[in-house]
Chains A and B, each alone.
Chain A
Amino acid sequence: MSDGDGREASGLGGWLRGWRPAVSMASRNLRRNRVRTVLAVLGVCIGVLAVAALGIFGNVLALGADDAIGDIGTQVVVSPNNDAGVESLSDADVASIRRAVGEPAVVPLYSDSATVARQGDQTFATVYGIEEPALAYEAAEGRLPERHRQGAILGAGIAEDLGAGAGDTVEIAGSQVRVIAVLVESQTFSPVAPDDAVFLPESAFSADGYAQALVVSDSGAEARAAADAIREAVNARQDRVELFELAALVDEINEFFDLLSTFLLGLGAISLVVAGVSILNVMLMSTVERRQEIGVMRAVGVARRDVLRVLLAEAGLIGAAGAAAGTLLTVLLVAGLVVATPAVDAALVLDPTNGYYLLLALVFGVGVGIVSGAYPAWKAANERPVEALRN
């Protein structure tokens, strides 16, 4: 240690100063065998690309799934249990459901199907009767009324099929109805699929009871609690209702995507490990070739620590250059994918969580360089100069 006393006195500044000549020497050494250096950098670049691209890929998949599942995790659909002879939900059922769930909104629905037409286009759609659409849905166009008394609300899919917007008139089961709003596309796979449905006021239906009731919660946990409460209260004596709830399924789907992300990252990490081995190889070769030079440095009084710095700087530079190139390449690749594939939602790709994978890959790249360089550097720095100088 004593050969560093003078410098240790100046602390961090001295420690940093030692790195400047080390990095300068390291970069020149790397330029001596450009092909070898470029190949090692390429190895890290590919490893970083693999980690970053696969990480982002997994993340985009998970985000996309999250998006597609949408509200479904927070919704519980209550239907009459036909097997028990219950044909519809009565007002008493709805009231007991409301009592059971407490906080979450309960939106009962009448249901029927009808032909919906506009200017020659026509389609067969589910028609729901709903009193409080604003509790369960959002409008993309127009406004959802507190109490739905007149006009039709179109699902996004059917509005597109018919080319209808708010203010237009459509023909539903033979009568002309004005469209007051179009819903936001939901992409869910709930039994109540609003995209291809039409929502009319309850007054348009003359049924005895409701076909379904939606329980809209704020979170998956709340939805699960609501479902349990309904099972306990409404189904206490007889299974009057069937419940369709996806909160648990959503959890499992999320777990699956977490696993998928980890798996993809693992795949990427393998290529980064291969890159690390190539750095190890390059550094070992290079230190063996430069054995005498390192011996001369040690002989003329360069401390082991400083030789170590030069060699670590070489490996670190390879790692950093490869990581930077790999990160840049990932950004270009992902950007190219978004441009070339309309199916990929740009908003998902630009999600800030993807930046985390870029950063992770960058840090891994530099880290792999330093870790792989550590052994050859340590070995070379600790060789006795008298051995290294021997011809």
Chain B
Amino acid sequence: MSGDAVPDVEARDVEAPDVEARDIEAAPDRTRDTAAGGDYAVELRDVVKRYPSGGGEPVVALDDVDFAVRPGEFVAVVGPSGSGKSTLLNVLGLLDDPTAGQRLLDGVDVTNLSVAERTRARKESIGFVFQDFHLLPTLTAVENVAMPTAFDAGDASGQAADLLARFGLGDRLDHEPSELSGGQKQRVAIARALINEPAVLLADEPTGNLDTETGESILAEFERVKSEGVAVIAVTHDPLVEEYADRVVDLTDGVMTGGLPTDGPPEGETGDDR
């Protein structure tokens, strides 16, 4: 990683005048941001993510992205395929590090963590929901939900069973994923994401493999999750998700519009237009 970091720092240094200019321009907002850092469940500041491409110019997946989500807010990220949505989720979910910029989780800077620290931060603060559910086929529903804590002291299966009961799967605790429908699998996946009471729930096309009705019921679950103060961020192509979202953010060619909440800086208004 450090090999990547060195040229990145240099790159930032070269861009320094721009950053300064921007800082002066947005000085009042920035002060507010810093002061109210704890307001956001998750936040990206000036995040750049570049991937090296074979010999040529590096691919810019995220281009100076400012993004923040409040606890209890449901944000949908839309945009064409290959626009950097997955990269955004990976960076938000601590699966990938930004090339430049700052990443905060619950107001704490988590930009540069060791592999083990990132793993722990993911376990404690982030829940993942995938398009393909990604349940472990050998584990029962309740074991899948408790899986993130399987290697810890104490038994989380009671808590896992409660979560499943909440999602209407109280009678499916000992079923294996192959015995569940798509909607049920996605509910198990959401329950798994919530087992450690995370601050942020990240969903990658959560309704992508579900019919409209089931998709709608999953989105209703998201509403419930968000009402408990969890920030929900869903990357999607599904207009239905946009309907349920509090805010829709557009990401095209790595450039984000509407990344900050509506009462924030001018970018917010752009988001409102959508």
Contacts and interface: CB of A to CB of B under 8 A. Distances in A.
Interface of A: 1-4, 6-7, 10, 14, 17-18, 21-22, 25, 28-29, 31-32, 292-293, 296-304, 306, 309, 384-386, 389
Contacts of B122: 299-301
A302 B116 contact: no
29 contacts: A1-B116, A2-B114, A2-B120, A3-B123, A6-B153, A14-B153, A18-B151, A25-B136, A32-B138, A292-B134, A293-B136, A296-B128, A296-B130, A296-B136, A297-B136, A298-B119, A299-B122, A300-B147, A301-B122, A301-B123, A301-B126, A302-B119, A303-B116, A303-B151, A304-B115, A306-B151, A309-B151, A386-B90, A386-B96
Nearest to A10: B153
Nearest to A26: B138
A6 B151 CA distance: 11
Contact of B153 (A7, A384, A385): A7
Given A32-B138, A304-B115, A304-B119, A299 B147 contact: no
Contacts of B128: 296, 299-300
Contacts of B117: 2-3
A31 B137 CA distance: 12
B171 interface: no
B238 interface: no
A384 B119 CA distance: 11
A213 to B, nearest CB: 77
Q: What are the nearest 10 A-B pairs in CB distance?
A: A301-B123, A28-B138, A3-B120, A306-B151, A386-B95, A296-B134, A3-B116, A300-B148, A21-B150, A301-B122
Contacts of A293: 134, 136-137
A31 B176 CA distance: 14
Interface string B78-122: 000000000000100101100000000000000000111101101
Contact of B124 (A298, A301, A302): A301
Interface residues of B, number: 31
Choose among B120, B138, B139, B192 the residue with the greatest number of A CB atoms under 10 Å from its CB.
B138
A301 B119 CA distance: 5
Contacts of A309: 151
A295 to B, nearest CB: 8
B150 A302 contact: yes
A222 to B, nearest CB: 64
A32 B126 CA distance: 30
B147 A302 contact: yes
B152 interface: yes
A286 to B, nearest CB: 12
Interface in B116-168: 116-117, 119-120, 122-124, 126-128, 130, 134, 136-139, 147-148, 150-153
Nearest to A309: B151
B225 to A, nearest CB: 16
Nearest to A27: B138
Contact of B148 (A17, A29, A302, A389): A302
Contacts of B90: 386
A52 B4 CA distance: 53
B50 to A, nearest CB: 15
Nearest to B193: A300
Contact of B95 (A4, A10, A14, A389): A389
Contacts of B116: 1-4, 303-304
A300 B128 CA distance: 7
A75 B193 CA distance: 82
B196 interface: yes
Given A17-B153, A292-B134, A304-B116, 4 more contacts: A29-B138, A296-B134, A301-B122, A306-B151
Choose among A22, A29, A385 the residue with the greatest number of B CB atoms under 10 Å from its CB.
A385
Given A300-B122, A303-B119, A304-B119, A6 B152 contact: yes
A297 B147 CA distance: 8
A61 B126 CA distance: 66
A290 to B, nearest CB: 9
A25 B138 contact: yes
Contacts of B95: 299, 384-386, 389
Contacts of A3: 116-117, 119-120, 123
B270 to A, nearest CB: 29
A296 B185 CA distance: 15
A301 B94 CA distance: 10
Nearest to B115: A304
A296 to B, nearest CB: 4
Choose among A28, A296, A303 the residue with the greatest number of B CB atoms under 10 Å from its CB.
A296
A22 B138 CA distance: 13
A149 to B, nearest CB: 85
A302 B136 contact: no
Contacts of B115: 304
A7 B151 CA distance: 9
A17 B149 CA distance: 12
A2 B115 CA distance: 10
Nearest to B118: A3
A29 B138 CA distance: 7
Given A4-B116, A6-B152, A21-B150, A300 B123 contact: yes
A25 B151 CA distance: 11
